[in-house]
Amino acid sequence: MAVLTLRAEGSASADDVWLRYVTPARWPSWSPQIRAVHVAEDRITQGTRGEIVSLFGVTAAFAVESVDEERRQWVWRVRLGPVRLRLHHAVMTRPGGSATTLRIEGPAVALAAYAGPARWALGRLLRG
């Protein structure tokens, strides 16, 4: 297993960024690699399960492991065939906006392929 940590800052408030994270229906608006999210809940909680439909129509299953509303942190696992990733998200308040970190655990080749789209998505997530 390899680990990749990405960081980004932007002008959106931490409250807005957190809402974009915990509302699956909003994921395609800031994450261009996601076309749709199939999930029963309007807001993620520990135990939320669903599927993400990628830009190319490929479906990946996911399960949310934890959500800490107070600290604005959440962790989930994503599975696409034999590839499994564990993603840790955190949102922090910064002067003039917010910052986020994304720590991804998984096969090195998958992390290398996902790093570019993830950086792009984080930039869009943090836009005011």
pLDDT of residue 7: 98
Q: What is the pLDDT of residue 55?
A: 85
> CB–CB of 7/103 below 8 Å?
no
Looking at residue 56, its pLDDT comes to 87
Tell me the pTM: 0.94
What is the C-alpha separation between 120 and 124, in angstroms, rounded?
6
Q: What is the mean pLDDT of each run of 10 residues along the chain (128 residues)?
A: 97 98 97 96 98 94 98 98 97 97 98 95 95
| Start-to-end C-alpha separation, the chain | 35
Residue at token pair 């906006």: 97
Cα-based angle 120, 35, 19 (whole degrees, multiple of 5) = 65
Place of tokens 């994503």: 78
pLDDT of residue 128: 82
